[in-house]
C-alpha cells in the first residue's frame, strides 16, 4: 500500500481555484446556530434539515449539471431555464429546492415574529388591513397546502400576494418577487410536531418569521 506524505494530502484537499469554484454550488452558511430556532424548531430538526435535506439538494444539483449547459449559471438562472421542461425536471427540482432552502433559512430568525416593519406597513394595509390578517392568511395557505411544498409572501407588481406552491416550485417562475417563504414539507416539522403542521406554523409566525428580511427583499 502506498503512503501519502502530509504535504500531498493537504494539497489534495486544497480549495479549487476560483475559475473552477464558480461552477460549483455551495451550501450557504446557516445564518444562526443550530439551536437558535428552538423550541419551535429544535436543534435536531435544523441539523437534519440543513445538513441532510438542504445539502442533499445542492450536492445532487452539482452532480446533475456536471459538464452540462447549466454550469456557471446561478441557481435562479437554472431554475428559470429549466421550469416546466420535463427533460430537465430533476435539475429544476434540485435547483429550486436549493434556492428555496437558502431563502427559507433567512426568512426565519431567533426572536422573530411581532409586527412587520414600517416599510411593509402600507402594502399590508392595502392588501390585508393589518399584520394579524396577513399572518392568518399566510397560516391558512401553509396549513392547507396538500402534501409537500412552500407558502410564500410575494410581491405581484405593487401588491402583496400569498401563494402556495407544491413540491419544489418557486414563485420566481410565476413572475413574482419572493419576500418570505415557509417550508411545509414534513421534514421541516415532523420531529417536533409530528402531524400538527398548524401548531408548527403558528409558532413560526409568532416567534420566528423575519419581517425585516421581507422588507429588505422589497428593495431587491
Ligand atoms: Mn425543507
What is the tens place of the pLDDT at every residue in 64-82?
A: 999 999 999 999 999 999 9
Residue % of the chain over a pLDDT of 90: 89
Q: Categorize the per-residue pLDDT at 23 as very low, low, confident or very high, splitting at 50, 70 and 90.
A: low
pLDDT of 56 reads 98
Alpha carbon of 188 to ligand 1 centroid (Å): 5
Average pLDDT over residues 48-57: 98
Alpha carbon of 123 to ligand 1 centroid (Å): 28
Point out the least confidently predicted range of 3-17, 27-41, 81-95, 161-175: 3-17
Alpha carbon of 96 to ligand 1 centroid (Å): 11
Alpha carbon of 30 to ligand 1 centroid (Å): 13
pLDDT of 171 reads 98
The structural domains of the chain, with segments of one domain joined by +, span 118-218
Mean residue pLDDT of the chain comes to 91
Alpha carbon of 47 to ligand 1 centroid (Å): 11
pTM attached to this predicted model: 0.89
What is the tens place of the pLDDT at every residue in 82-106?
A: 999 999 999 999 999 999 999 999 9
Q: Specify which residues 178 forms β-bridges with.
A: 154
What is the tens place of the pLDDT at every residue in 124-140?
A: 999 999 999 999 999 99
CB atoms within 5 A of ion ligand 1 belong to 183, 185
- The long-range contacts involving 120-128, CB below 8 angstroms and separated by at least 24 positions, are 120/211, 120/214, 120/215, 120/218, 123/155, 123/158, 123/159, 123/160, 123/218, 124/160, 126/159, 126/160, 127/159, 127/160, 127/161, 128/160
pLDDT of 14 reads 40
Which CATH code fits 118-218?
Answer: 3.55.40.20
Alpha carbon of 19 to ligand 1 centroid (Å): 30
pLDDT of 220 reads 81
pLDDT of 110 reads 98
- Strand arrangement, sheet containing 159-166: 159-166, 149-156, 177-183
Cell of residue 133, nine digits: 390578517
Cell of residue 135, nine digits: 399572518
What is the tens place of the pLDDT at every residue in 103-123?
A: 999 999 999 999 999 999 999
Beta carbons of 188 and 196 less than 8 angstroms apart: no
pLDDT of 10 reads 38
**Dihedral sign of CA atoms 98, 105, 197, 186 in order:** positive
How would you label 20-55 residue by residue, b for 16+ Cβ within 10 Å and e otherwise? eeeeebebeebeeebebbeebbbeebbeebbeeebe
**Dihedral sign of CA atoms 52, 189, 178, 220 in order:** negative
Alpha carbon of 83 to ligand 1 centroid (Å): 19
How would you label 85-112 residue by residue, b for 16+ Cβ within 10 Å and e otherwise? eeebeebbbbbbbbbbbbbbbbbbbeeb
Q: Categorize the per-residue pLDDT at 55 as very low, low, confident or very high, splitting at 50, 70 and 90.
A: very high
Alpha carbon of 101 to ligand 1 centroid (Å): 6
Amino acid at each position: 500500500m502506498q503512503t501519502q506524505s502530509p504535504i500531498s494530502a493537504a494539497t489534495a484537499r486544497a480549495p479549487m481555484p476560483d475559475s473552477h469554484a464558480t461552477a460549483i454550488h455551495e451550501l450557504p452558511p446557516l445564518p444562526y446556530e443550530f439551536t437558535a430556532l428552538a423550541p419551535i424548531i429544535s436543534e435536531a430538526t435544523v441539523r437534519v434539515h440543513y445538513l441532510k435535506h438542504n445539502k442533499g439538494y445542492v450536492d445532487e444539483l452539482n452532480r446533475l449539471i456536471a459538464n452540462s449547459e447549466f454550469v456557471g449559471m446561478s441557481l435562479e438562472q437554472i431554475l428559470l431555464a429549466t421550469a416546466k421542461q420535463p427533460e430537465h425536471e430533476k435539475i429544476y427540482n434540485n435547483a429550486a429546492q436549493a434556492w428555496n432552502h437558502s431563502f427559507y433559512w433567512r426568512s426565519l430568525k431567533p426572536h422573530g415574529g411581532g409586527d412587520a416593519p414600517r416599510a411593509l406597513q402600507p402594502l399590508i394595509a392595502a392588501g390585508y388591513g393589518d399584520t394579524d390578517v396577513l399572518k392568518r392568511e399566510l397560516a391558512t395557505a401553509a396549513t392547507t397546502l396538500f402534501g409537500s411544498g412552500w407558502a410564500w409572501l410575494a410581491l405581484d407588481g405593487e401588491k402583496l400576494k400569498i401563494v402556495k406552491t407544491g413540491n419544489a416550485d418557486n414563485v420566481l417562475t410565476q413572475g413574482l418577487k419572493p419576500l418570505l417563504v415557509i417550508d411545509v414539507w414534513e421534514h421541516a416539522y415532523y420531529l417536533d410536531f409530528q402531524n400538527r403542521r398548524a401548531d408548527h406554523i403558528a409558532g413560526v409566525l409568532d416567534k420566528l418569521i423575519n419581517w425585516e428580511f421581507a422588507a429588505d427583499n422589497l428593495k431587491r
